[in-house]
Structure 1
Amino acid sequence: MTDVRADNGDTARSLAASVLGGLDELTDGLVSVIGDQNPGYRLVDVVPRDDLWHSCHDNLRRVLQLIGHAGDAEDFYDAARATGRRRAEQQLPLDDVLRSFRLGGRLVWQALTDQARATGEVNNEAMLDLATRVWEVVDAISAQVAQAYHAAERSLVRADEQRRASLWEGLLQGRAADAGFAYEAGRTLRLPISGRYVVVAAAGPGDADAGFAEPLGSALEDLGSPSAWQSRADVLVGLVALPGRDVAGVVAAVGSVLAVPAGVSLVVDGLAAVHAAYRQAVLAMRTVPPGRSEVVCLAERLPEALLLSSPELTDSLLQNWLRGLLDLGGDERGLLLETLSTWVGTGGSATRSAQILHCHRNTVLNRIHRIEGLIEQRLTGGDLSLELALVVRALPFLPPPRVP
């Protein structure tokens, strides 16, 4: 039995060596077969004919060498790996690549059987062993192609993600003032360079942006507003094109997908202004009071945004107006601050405040007199000041009461 196997191995080596002598003709045949029987190459049209010929030539040579080789095969996979990497870079579907290797296997088998018939000295058992060997080699080569293809594909995805992230950083830092950068960013993100834009900043999703980007994009696409999304630290950033001025529609679409605090910038002109819109969107997001999840427009939160933009002045304003009220315990402090906010919101109407607070108007007046004593400011008998209106706007952002 050992002698028979050795003889069969000698037969495989002999036939493979003979076929290798006509490698160029065999390569021409495989290129022709691929053109006829693997339409993916024609439809995608990303592999130049010269590239295809040399790839077929190198891989056929390695297949025939492996058929006649009985030792370690590692050194014979270089052509397969190179082909896998190159086809991934060319974005030819892997199924089409592997189909070509199967066609090559059939062509090699046909060439080997033709050579066997020409010699007339090969028996059936040797040919059965040879058939097994041919398809073992084709399977092993194909596995190497697929492995190299997937590795290159992952590398390309990482490179694309890094490039996309770099473009986003450039946009948010103002680099789109350069026309060349703006063109590249618009082409990559599939957005127009000019036209009206808003930026959306949403808190919380972070690295989960992949789960939100698709539904956000779909919801905005329904409005006719193409968008692009990127995770940046703990903020999900969206760039939304506005063919019209439907900012309210953007707010509704984002709110239908996200249940987190989010801010929408003012409308800006073109990619060159995106960096300013990003700062506006983050500021708008910060105006959402703690514990609440809503989507807000900066245009509707300008007083709050101004207060948050200058924390030192805001703190001074609060201290000047609220003084002793801020030193109260939690329950009384909360009750009086709610009453003050309602009082200012109703323009100093005890009746309307009582309706909102669900208490008697005299109770409202008693609380207001209590507040007046604490802050040493009159809240009745005249117009309420602009400063007091700003103080009320800042109340949601007050720190919690100090624990004694």
Structure 2
Amino acid sequence: MAGAQLDGGDTARSLAASVLDRLEPLTEVLVSVIGEQNPGYRLVDVVPRNDLWHSCHDNLRRVLQLIGQSGSAEDFSDAARATGRRRAEQQLPLDDVLRSFRLGGRLVWQALTDQARAAGEVNNEAMLDLATRVWEVVDAISAQVAQAYHATERALVRADEQRRASLWEGLLQGRAGDTGFAYEAGRTLRLPISGPYVAVAAAGAGRGDCLEPLGAALERHGSDSAWQLRADALVGLVSLPGRDVTAVTAAVGSVLATAAGVSLVVDGLAAVHTAYRQAVLAMRTVPPGRAEVVGLAERLPEALLLSSPELTEALLHTHLRGLLDLGGEERGFLLETLAAWVASGGSATRSAQVLHCHRNTVLNRIHRIEGLIERRLTGGELPLEWGLIVRALPFLPPPRVP
């Protein structure tokens, strides 16, 4: 109905003008009717009586003016749109707002018919036309209310999302060292300011449908959490009353099927920027192509290697230069054999069990590796650096194509 031309006759103009002269007492009646017949206002209790009175007054005036004049609803919609905006800001349900406008429409119709009887202007055909006109106007004005309400609601959601995103960025950049910022962030995200925390970082942009299961899984372990979908990762903050990082890691792993990292424990929101960097580093220790949730505490050697790529490259180049120059399948099974050899402490028997081959096959491969790298791997205890080298193997770039 918005924008429709509503023609009014002499009866409509005369009666509407007469009722307008009694606008203040009519407003009082409408406020009382809303209080009695629209319990949503009482239950939600966000609209002060003075606000309701002025809203009823202004909207009754505009409805009666529109009934008595020719024009579109937009020309008389200022009060309706203001009401829609205010009620959205007050978070009063739209159904309750529109119910009040229907109550107002009934009251206007009753006032018009009472005035017609008092003035002796009752004409059945004219009154039928007037009834149609009244409800056309009420529908048109209600549409303006709903339009303004929804527009404001969308704007508030966008503003809330922007505010939350700004608070997240501030937390991850270390701004929670400021007590005021930490309080605001904690209140908005519904997290405690102090106490132990871990951060979680999961690869990929993530999906919104995983957020509720993540929160529920962590609540079962007594942990509150907040999550943010970023462009390249899903980030979470998890309060940790029991400091049980293992339980958090398992809970996150029960929901996410992607690479994810969990930080070390930090103290309070002021330190979550450190936890975030740690979580991202832990996530990077998951080998490419694997879906696994790991804690940084379990991956410190790998994290150290990833934190110093130039030193890692020098370590690998120094110890594995000849082996890494190989291509194809040979490089793959020799590196696999080397990893099993180092993990077993140089035991051909245990390496063979892991690789499902004969121990002589293992020894032959190890001798081949020794020839390529020009270093001894047999006949004594393996140096410490071999443990680091093996941990770096999953992050090697693919072999060069000949």
Question: Which band: TM-score by shorter chain?
Answer: over 0.9
Q: Is the 8 A contact 1:171 1:274 kept in 2?
A: yes
1:71 and 1:263 mapped to 2: Cα distance? 63
TM-score, with length taken from structure 2: 0.97
Alpha-carbon shift at residue 147 of structure 1 (Å): 0.8
Pairs within 5 Å for 1:122-141: 122-141=122-141
Task: Tell me which residue corresponds to 2:279.
Answer: 281
Task: Tell me which residue corresponds to 1:53.
Answer: 53
Task: Tell me which residue corresponds to 1:314.
Answer: 312
1:49 and 1:289 mapped to 2: Cα distance? 63
Secondary structure of the structure 2 residue equivalent to 1:197? strand
Secondary structure of the structure 1 residue equivalent to 2:378? coil
One-letter identity of the residue aligned with 1:324: G
Secondary structure of the structure 1 residue equivalent to 2:152? helix
1:218-263 residue CA offsets vs partner (Å, 9 max, x unmatched):
1111111110000222110000011102211111111111111000
One-letter identity of the residue aligned with 1:353: S
One-letter identity of the residue aligned with 2:95: D
Task: Tell me which residue corresponds to 2:325.
Answer: 327
1:23-53 residue CA offsets vs partner (Å, 9 max, x unmatched):
0111111111111111111111111111111
Alpha-carbon shift at residue 7 of structure 1 (Å): 11
Alpha-carbon shift at residue 204 of structure 1 (Å): 1.2
Task: Tell me which residue corresponds to 1:226.
Answer: 224
Task: Tell me which residue corresponds to 2:183.
Answer: 183
1:96 and 1:289 mapped to 2: Cα distance? 55
1:53 and 1:357 mapped to 2: Cα distance? 82
Secondary structure of the structure 2 residue equivalent to 1:377? coil
1:267-318 residue CA offsets vs partner (Å, 9 max, x unmatched):
1110000000000000000000011010000000000000000000000000
Task: Tell me which residue corresponds to 2:297.
Answer: 299
Of residues 388, 391, 394 in structure 2, which corresponds to 1:396? 394
Cα separation, partners in 2 of 1:152 and 1:8, compared to 1, 3 Å:
closer
Q: Which ranges in structure 2 are unaligned for 5 or more consecutive residues?
A: 1-5
Task: Tell me which residue corresponds to 1:339.
Answer: 337
1:73 and 1:350 mapped to 2: Cα distance? 89
1:73 and 1:399 mapped to 2: Cα distance? 68
Q: Which ranges in structure 1 are unaligned for 5 or more consecutive residues?
A: 1-5
Identity %: 85
Alpha-carbon shift at residue 8 of structure 1 (Å): 7.1
Q: CA RMSD in A?
A: 1.2
Pairs within 5 Å for 1:5-404: 9-206=9-206, 208=207, 210-404=208-402
1:224 and 1:130 mapped to 2: Cα distance? 63
1:137 and 1:49 mapped to 2: Cα distance? 25
Q: Is the 8 A contact 1:8 1:126 kept in 2?
A: no
One-letter identity of the residue aligned with 1:218: A
2:275 and 2:230 mapped to 1: Cα distance? 15
TM-score, with length taken from structure 1: 0.97
Q: Is the 8 A contact 2:218 2:251 kept in 1?
A: yes
One-letter identity of the residue aligned with 1:109: W
Aligned length: 397
1:223 and 1:97 mapped to 2: Cα distance? 41
One-letter identity of the residue aligned with 1:348: G
One-letter identity of the residue aligned with 1:152: T
One-letter identity of the residue aligned with 2:82: A
Moved over 4 A (4+): none
Cα separation, partners in 2 of 1:255 and 1:178, compared to 1, 3 Å:
same
Q: Is the 8 A contact 2:73 2:137 kept in 1?
A: no
